[in-house]
Each structure stands twice: as C-alpha cells, then as structure tokens.
Structure 1
Amino acid sequence: MNQIKKLLIIGFVWPEPNSSAAGSRMMQLIAIFAANQFEITFASPALDSEFMVDLASFGVEKVTIELNNTSFDDFIIKLNPDVVLFDRFMIEEQFGWRVAENCPQAIRLLDTEDLHCLRTARHKAFKENSPFQLNDLLVEEVAKREIASILRCDLSFIISEFEMKILEDVFKINTSLLYYLPFLVDEMFEIDLEKLPSFEERKHFVFIGNFLHEPNWNTVQYLKEAIWPLIKKGFPEAVLEVYGAYPSQKVLQLHQPKEGFFIMGRAANACEVVKKAKVVLAPIRFGAGLKGKLLEAMQCGTPSVTTSIGAEAMHGNLFWNGFISDEVEEFANYAIELYQNENLWRQSQKNGIAIVNECFQKSQFSSQLIDAIHTLSNQLESHRLQNFMGSLLHHHTLKSTKYMSKWIEAKNKN
C-alpha cells in the first residue's frame, strides 16, 4: 500500500466553523486527515476573515494563493502533494487544470458541500411558485458546470444520500466516482443528556444560520411573516431568538421585541446558544445537502421543528427529534406542543441521540475514507482509464479554462 502523506486543500473560503455548517464540515475533514498523519496545507484565494479558524493551531499550514496566476504552478510543483482536495466545484474549475498539469499523479478529490444545482433549481422553482421536478436539474446551467467538475475528479464527497441518488439516477454518474460522506460527529449516550440544561432550565425558541446563505434568510422571513404570528396567538409568552453570522440590514429590520421576535446577530458560541434554547425552529423551504443547524440541535439535546427539505436525508428510517411539517398551521401547533409537553420533549431528545449515532458516527466513516483513498492511490491509472468522460472533459473543457486563465493573467499584467 502506498503511503500517502501530503494533502493540499484548496478552499473557497477560510474555514469559519462558528459561522456555517460548511466551515464545520471542513474542520471535520481536516481532523480525519490529521489523525491519519497527513501533512496538511490549506490554500485559498479568499481574503482573511476575523472569524476564520487558526489553522496553525491544528497543525495546518496556511497559504494564500492567487486566481489566474502562474505563481500557483510554482507553489504546487514545490509542494508536490499526494492528494488535492477542492472545496466546492468552483475551486476545481479554477485550479483543477493546474493541478492536473503540474501534479498529474496527485489524487483529485472534490468536497461538493451540497449539490449547488439542486439548491439553485429548488430556489428557482420556489420563486416561480411551481413544483420542483428532478428533471429541472437537467436544464440548470450550474448543473453542467458542477457535474463536469465531479467527472473530472477522481472521487467526490457527497454529503446526502438523496444527492447520491440524484447523481446516480438523474445524471448517470458512475458510483466509482462518488463517496457518501455525511457530517461526522462523536457518539452520544443518554447519560450525556444529564450534562445538558434540563427542560425546566431552558427557555425560548431559537433559529440559527449564516445569512450569506439565501435559504436561511428566506427561512427567517417565513418565520416572521407566516409562522410566528400563529405561535404567538396560541402561546402569547413565546419568544424567538434569531442568531446568525453576517446579518444584513434587511435581517436586522425584522427585530420586533414587542412581538417576541429578537434578531440577536452572530452567536459567540452557537452550541451554547442552542443548549439553552428549548426548541429549534427551522422551516426551510429550499436548499440542498444536510442542515448543520439541525444536527447541532440534536447534539445539544434540543428538539426541533423543521420541514421535509430541512430533514431531508438526515434521519434514515428513524423518528425525528421533534416534528416535520410543511404546513404553516401544523408547524406552529407542533412548535407549541413540543415546547410545552415535557414527555414529548424528552422523547424527542432521545430520538436525536439515535439519529446522531445511526447516521453521523465519525468512527463508522473516517477509517473507511482513508482506506478508500489508499485503494484509489494504488489503482489510480485504471480508475482514470475507466472514467473516459472525465478524461474527455479534461482534454476539452479545461483547455478552454486554461487559455482563458492565461488570457486574464496576461491582461492583468498590462
């Protein structure tokens, strides 16, 4: 077995685990590779952020890179990584051809985060007030880019079983190019609940989400306009606290203390906020992937009420840790019932533990992932020979990307 030791991650942004589920996901991946003695370099063209994680404290080298610049070629030739992980398809579009050209033997991995084409098509259907159909994906412009990126890579991490099925059934992607990898967390036990605030110690409803993510902004609008008035009518003392990174002015304008609707801004510690809340509300109407906020609620022992899209691919055949509803009045009634019924609330907590342990167990996935990468390393040539569409896309699509990039670089020098 080849010993793979050097990993380059090319990030869309610097990881902010306290701002978004994507940031948490990236840190989970880093932890798995670090635990298996990989030397990790994280490179990104993004600007630094005051909220980004200190990568050095995790033993990860941080490198700033430039778009459309041959300096990246010099950088990757010198680094000579065994594995390159692209953070989202847009990064693979920018740097994939340079990696393939300068380090052809490096395994190329893609972390999709979620299927952007699914999120985009659902958003479009929502705005047009039309039912979403899977065939909508076939005419979605971003799908052509995203699927091409998946085909060009040796292996793509897919976070949702529903999205695995879409890639296999709708886009006819060979399963050898796909690897199911959900959020990965530690095992939970019922005794863990005793360390958390009790039913009596908790108060308020809570929503938490990064406002740079359009589905989160839409969810808060929906809460404010349609659901919260019904909850207040049935439960006048109710209070909802809305937390989230990067709130815009339009978000802040929803702050209405007299209506029990509080816009709290960024949470210093998201987990602490959720632990103190009694119920998480997440009436998500479009989106894709898995919802980090709902997994975090389970880990914090906080039951939730969400929609079918919110809970999609998150609980297998297990009971949800609260309720799932797409109807406004039913959603509001479920929220009140879950808040006030202690027995129901406690059972929902236990349901959450079962979901965490059944669907998101770190020990179940992490060692298998490293084994899959080592196997891929040993069979890389034959693996790529069998992926003719991928090599075809490298030959044609990336030729155009390459020369466009070189044209931009030349233009920038003038």
Structure 2
Amino acid sequence: MSQSRATKVLVIGYVWPEPRSSAASGHVMQILETFLEQGWDITFASPAGPGEHKADLTAMGIAECSIELNSSSFDAFVGELAPDIVLFDQFMMEEQFGWRVEKQCPGALRVLETSDLQSLRHARHQRLKDHLKASDDHDDGAALFGQTLAQEFAAMADTDLARREIAALFRCDLNLMISQVEIQLLVEHFSLPPSALHWCPLMLEPVAQPLAPYADRAHFLSIGNFRHAPNWDAVLWMKNAVWPLIRQQLPGAQLHIYGAYTPPKASALHNPAQGFHIMNWAEDALQVMTAARICLAPLRFGAGIKGKIVDAMLCGTPNVTTPIGAEGMAGDMPWAGAIGESATAIAAAAVRLYQDEHLWNQAQEAGVKLLHARYRHSVHGPALIARLEHCREHLLELRQANFIGGMLRHHQHKSTQYMSQWIEEKNRNNA
C-alpha cells in the first residue's frame, strides 16, 4: 500500500513490556521491532505503572504515553494521534478502549495480540485444581493431558472469561494468535472466521555461531516469571514430585530455578542440600540457559507457546516438558528433547537425556531444525506486515463479512460506554 506518510500505530498495552521477564512481553517486542523495520511511527500507551524490568521504548524510537482507564482524556489523545492501526495487547485493553477507538478513529484497523487464550489457560487451571482435590497422587499428570479440542471447548464455553475473550476476538478486525492449536480451536468450536485470525508465533533469527556442546554443560535449569501461575505450579511439582525422582538416580544433580518477581514462598523452597536452588531473576536468561545441560518445563496447565522452550532451542539446550508445554510448537517435526505425562516419565526422560550424549545431540539438532522451520523472524515478520496491509486495503469487506463482530460491538459499546462514563462521573464527584 503506497502512502504519503509513515503508517501510524498505537499499541495499547496491559502492562509495559518486560521482554526479559516474560515470553508475552518478548512477543510484543518482536512485533514492535517488525513495525520499526517498516519505518512505521509507533506510540505505546498503557494504564499500568512501569515494572522493574521495563524495556526502554523511547531508546528504540517509540513514543511512550501513560493513559487512564475510564477517562474521556483517552478520547482526545487517540483522536489527536489519529492512528492507522491500533493494536490491543490482551483482550482487556480492547474491552476498555475498543469502543473509544472506534468512536474516535472508525477507519483505524483494530488488532488484538492475544499471547495465549486466557480462557483456555484458566479452564486448564481449573481442571488441575479439580484433579488435585480428587487425588493426592503427585506423580500422575496424565488426567490433565490428552483433551480433545471439543473437550477443551466444553470446559471453556460456560465461563464468563471465555465469553468476554471470544467476544473481544470477534470485535477486532484481526487477531494475532501465537498457537496454531488455538486457531483450530477458535475456528472449529467458537466459529471465529479464519479471516480474523493470523498465526504469529515467537519470531527470532537463530544465531549462526556454534552451540555449546554436551561436555561443556552441567546441571538442570528451569526458568519463568513467578507471577505466571503455570510457572509457579511447575516449580511446586518439581519440588514435590519430579526433582526427588531425578535426585534418586543422579544424587549429585543440581537444579537452578530462575524467574522474575520471586516471592518469599518461592525463596522458601531453596534447599542446596537437595540440589534445589532458587536463583531469582536472571540478568541474561540466554547465558544461563546455554550453560545448562537440560531445561525442565513440567507445565501442568497453560496455553499459547512457551518462550522458555524457544529460548532453550535457541541456546541448543534440550528440554523435557509435558504435552501442554509442547502444544502447538513442533507441528509434525521431532521434538527437541522429551515429553512426559507424569512425574515418573518426566524424571526418567530427564535423566536419560542428561546421561546420553548421543540422544542429547539429536535433541539439540531437532531444536535447531524447529527454529529454522517455524520461528524465523525473516518469515513471520513480512507475513505479518502483508496481512496487516491486506486488512487495511479490504477493511470494509472484512467488517461486512464479520456480522457477529459488528453486532457485538453495537451492544458492547453501549454497555461499556455507559459503565465507563458512570465510573468517570463517580470519580469526578469523589475528587
């Protein structure tokens, strides 16, 4: 699309990006970098306060702006900015600001970046809670995995969270999905039009330098933001079930667990005598990943695709995970490590990979091939830009074809608008 000025993009973030703290923020940064490569004019706005590890967006040439919830000040801001594309980071931002964007900038392409389907993650979390209430068997995880998409839909469909999230997907012109499994779920069971969905996984360029070999590595590693519930549950499962089994077979084994925002309850698990080390935040996650021989990611629930596993492949570190951890990541290609459904299976696979150099080398090579086949920025970046440009060129047809989205916008705008205006008036009277 030829234009007389640079495309103007407004990104509305649920939080300010912290790419070294979470994969979700890393994905947002990859999208921002893709836009910058086009010479686009980007403004990032958020109602949240800055976190400890916030990225310096201004140094990248991205304007930063703090915005308020339930305030007409946003109307003046977005009207003056007049963006061509508005990207909502997480569906709650579309709920809050989508109606205002449509009212002030009706011609702007509205895009939702999901990172993962939150309603799917929460339904799986509930399944885990129910499982733990029904059984005190810490080893068994098989009951949590192997659900069909129809079963996942059934668990999600009656929840308020799914109704809110899926409605937001319908209301947007395009939704960026990180997992092809979630695209299939949305199309086949929630009736999202394929024209409203775009596969945009984690995007990176594998380095050409040699990967650290088996002999130069030691210990096990696990990494993940402690504020993310699936990561915390994985730490507990490792502590109570997985790690004791590994130590039985490898008495000298050491597990180093890194994560941003380490709470006291995690620090309390630190036990060097058991080889169980809580290491807090990693200044350089790729450096510690490169030094490790095995990455453990025993996730019992979650959604999307896992940044820690992509990082492991980038560093040539074989991983051991669950079907949830591997979901949507490999397609039909060999896995870069091992997948287990129970603590016993995960521990056995981890010990085998740790001790078998030939098997370890095969897993490392599988990771290299997976990265090149499915996660290259040079492939997905241009594909994203092309899809956005196509949607802008055919915006009227897209919206006419998405009647359900238009219907939901009509009703949501009324309810959200009046609620927001009521809150704003209430805040004004209380000031």
CA distance in 2, matches of 1:117, 1:330: 28
1:313 is matched with 328
1:93 is matched with 95
Work out whether residues 2 and 374 of structure 1, in 8 Å CA contact, stay in contact via their aligned partners in 2. Answer: no
- Which structure 2 residues correspond to residues 235-274 of structure 1 after superposition, within 5 A? 235-274=250-289
* Superposed CA offset, 1:88-113 (max 9, x none): 00010000000000000000000011
Kindly indicate whether residue 194 of structure 2 is the aligned counterpart of residue 175 of structure 1: yes
Flag the 1:2–1:386 CA change in 2: closer, same or farther, 3 A. farther
Work out whether residues 188 and 353 of structure 1, in 8 Å CA contact, stay in contact via their aligned partners in 2. Answer: no
CA offset at residue 172 of structure 1? 0.9
- Which structure 2 residues correspond to residues 61-100 of structure 1 after superposition, within 5 A? 61-100=63-102
CA distance in 2, matches of 1:396, 1:304: 46
| Structure 1 unaligned residues grouped into runs of 5+ | none
Match for residue 211 of structure 1 among 226, 230, 241: 226
Work out whether residues 12 and 86 of structure 2, in 8 Å CA contact, stay in contact via their aligned partners in 1. Answer: yes
1:360 is matched with 375
CA offset at residue 40 of structure 1? 0.4
Flag the 1:2–1:387 CA change in 2: closer, same or farther, 3 A. farther
* 2:214 match: secondary structure: coil
Amino acid at match of 2:358: N
CA distance in 1, matches of 2:96, 2:405: 16
Work out whether residues 18 and 270 of structure 1, in 8 Å CA contact, stay in contact via their aligned partners in 2. Answer: yes
CA offset at residue 138 of structure 1? 1.1
CA distance in 2, matches of 1:19, 1:382: 39
- Which structure 2 residues correspond to residues 15-414 of structure 1 after superposition, within 5 A? 15-129=17-131, 133-134=151-152, 135-187=154-206, 192=209, 194=210, 196-414=211-429
Amino acid at match of 2:378: S
CA distance in 2, matches of 1:371, 1:159: 17
* Superposed CA offset, 1:96-147 (max 9, x none): 0000000000000000110001001000111111755221111122010001
User: Scaled by the length of structure 1, what TM-score is found?
Assistant: 0.97
| Structure 2 unaligned residues grouped into runs of 5+ | 132-142
User: Scaled by the length of structure 2, what TM-score is found?
Assistant: 0.93
CA offset at residue 18 of structure 1? 0.4
Amino acid at match of 2:104: N
CA offset at residue 187 of structure 1? 4.0
Work out whether residues 208 and 242 of structure 1, in 8 Å CA contact, stay in contact via their aligned partners in 2. Answer: yes
Structure 1: which 4+ aligned runs deviate by more than 4 Å?
none
After superposition, the CA RMSD in angstroms is 1.1
* 2:216 match: secondary structure: coil
Work out whether residues 206 and 314 of structure 2, in 8 Å CA contact, stay in contact via their aligned partners in 1. Answer: no
Amino acid at match of 2:199: Y
CA offset at residue 2 of structure 1? 4.8
* 1:313 match: secondary structure: coil
Amino acid at match of 2:295: V
